[in-house]
Every structure is written in C-alpha cells, then in structure tokens.
Amino acid sequence: MSAQPSKTSPSQAAALEVEGLSKSFNGFRAVRDVSFTVPQGSITGFLGPNGAGKTTTLRMALGIIRPDSGSARLFGEPPTTRAMDRVGFLPEERGVYRKMTAEAVITLFARLKGVPAGIARTRARAALDQFGLGASGQKKIKELSKGMAQKVQIIAALIHEPDFIILDEPFSGLDPVNQALLEQMIREQAAAGRTVLFSTHVMEQAERVCDRIVLMARGQKIFDGKVDEALAVVPRVVTIGVASGDDHTELLSRFGAVERGEADPDGNAVWKVTLNAGVNPQHVLKACVEAGVKLTRFEPVRPHLHDAFVRLVSNPQDVRPLETV
C-alpha cells in the first residue's frame, strides 16, 4: 500500500495518552496502573511475553473494554467514534468475512471508514498487488492460506490511510519474507507522518523497527523510552584476543569483571570483560595499546533488546542513563 501523506491534519496532541489504566477479571489483575504516551510520528513497540497485559491495555485505550480505573485519550480526546475514524486497528483475534473475496473485504473496510466506493476499490487492488496478493483478489477468504488471510486483514486496517495505526501481534502467521515486507510497510507509514504502535512478544522485530518501546510484564509497565535507553541497561561486554599467554587480569579488572576463556583455534588467549557502568570499550582498547598488549581480536559485543528485557524483568529498577559512546 502506498504511503501517501494523510489527508487529515493531525492535532498537536500525542496520538495516544494512557494514564493509570487498571483492569481485573474475576479477581485477577490483568493490568496494573499502566501509563504511557505514544508521540505522533513515532514507531512505538508495545512489548512483552504472552499474558503480559498488552492486548487488554490496547482494548482499554481504544474504548473497547471499560477500565476499572484510569483513562485514555486519542489525539487529545476520549476514544470517540470521531477519534476512531483516524485509527487503523488490527486486533489480535483475526476475523474477516470468510465467504467474501479478498478485494471485497478490503473495499468494505474502506467504505466503513468513509472512503468513496471507486477509490476504495482502486486502493484495494493496489494494496493487494503490493502485498503479493494481486492474483488472489477474487478468491474468497476461506480459500486463502492463514498467512494470506492475515495480510488481507492488515491491508483492511490500513486502507483508509489512518493517522494512527495500531497492530496487535501483526507478525503472527507471516513467513520471514512477509514479516520483512510488513516491517518495511511500517517504516513507510511512519515516513509519511503517521504514527504506529504495534504489540509483539518478538524482541528482534521491535529492535529493528521501533523508535521507542514500552515493556510490559505481569500486567505492569517496566520500561518506557527509546530503544537505545533500554539497551543501555545491559552491561557491555568486550571479548579480547591476546597473542601471548600473559596474565592481564590486573590490567583488565580496572574496567569490569574479567573472565579468561578457552584459547581460540590459533592458540591465542581469550579474555571477556563485562564493563562497569560508565566504561566505554574504547577505554579498554586504549589501555591495552598503551600497555603494549599484542591484540589479535577486540570485539565489543552488541547488546540486544531480548537481553534488556530479561534484565528489566529481573531488576525493574535497573534503568541507568545513556552513556557516551
């Protein structure tokens, strides 16, 4: 689907503001006092394992279910029908009319959002082509594979060119090629000035695509900020190869916890340093060069969002400022 600039002039308010949302079901607290803001024009990942409370929070934010406490605002106002007209929502539970054709389903969703019939059909055909479904437009949904039906529902959520796109586990059921296509589509929508919020339990997808993330665990928010800020909670690790068998523990321990590993296939000694907070890998490299250490390898290990999530779940208070690289 082409990422045309939205015809609706977005207000200056955040696309979504959630404040103190809580919800219980039969005595079980599914969501506990969750607050966050989705800035307009951002790609925000709403992350956490299955059962973390992501879907319940999104449903409360959109007015689909009533919270026990707290509030939500879309474009600065409650989630009214008028505000929802500017939203494209892909729910976690997939469901389109199985006896309708793919083109008819997409056209219907566009018409429900006020798109004129001719324009709706033209957009539907173009979007089907873009997602590799051009030859399947006249097939009924029940005749399509699970992944193909999933793509039809994604298109249906975007067909009215909404200002704010909310996708609940959008990558589920898609093969790697179509996951990459969806990631590219998300980037294109953001480049066109639209706001994207998507929930997922797959950290790698969010790390590749998102500007910001909100991490959930056990119904609570445990992190809210930029991806780099989340990665900064993971201690940096440097792996060092040394040509000699000399003991460099004293030199390296100035910078963090030191482990000596097995020699590499060429017989070089291998050291791993888990850096202290505030230590830059370049500090270690400079000290080694100045000490005349014969390096055969110097490899800072890049942290990943999965590592940050595990650490934050275990130590939710462990959020430190970004360090200078």
Q: pLDDT for 175-211, tens place per residue?
A: 888 888 889 989 999 999 999 999 988 888 889 999 9
Contact 65, 25 (CB under 8 A): no
The pLDDT assigned to 12 comes to 53
The pLDDT assigned to 277 comes to 83
| Residue reference for tokens 């319940």 | 56
Nearest Cα neighbor of 255 from 223, 277, 226, 228 is: 277
The pLDDT assigned to 187 comes to 93
What does the radius of gyration of the chain's CA atoms come to, in whole angstroms? 24
Pairing of strands 269-275, 256-261: antiparallel
The pLDDT assigned to 1 comes to 55
Joined together, the tokens standing for residue 21 give: 């949302």
The series of mean pLDDT values per 10 residues for the chain, 325 residues long, is: 43 82 94 95 91 92 94 91 89 80 95 94 94 92 90 93 93 86 91 93 88 93 92 90 89 94 88 90 94 93 88 64 35
The pLDDT assigned to 2 comes to 46
The pLDDT assigned to 316 comes to 55
Exposure string of 266-297, with b = 16+ CB inside 10 Å and e = fewer, is eebbbbbbebeeebbbeebbeebeeeebeebe
Report d(CA 240, CA 262) in Å as an integer.
12
Q: What is the pTM of this model?
A: 0.80
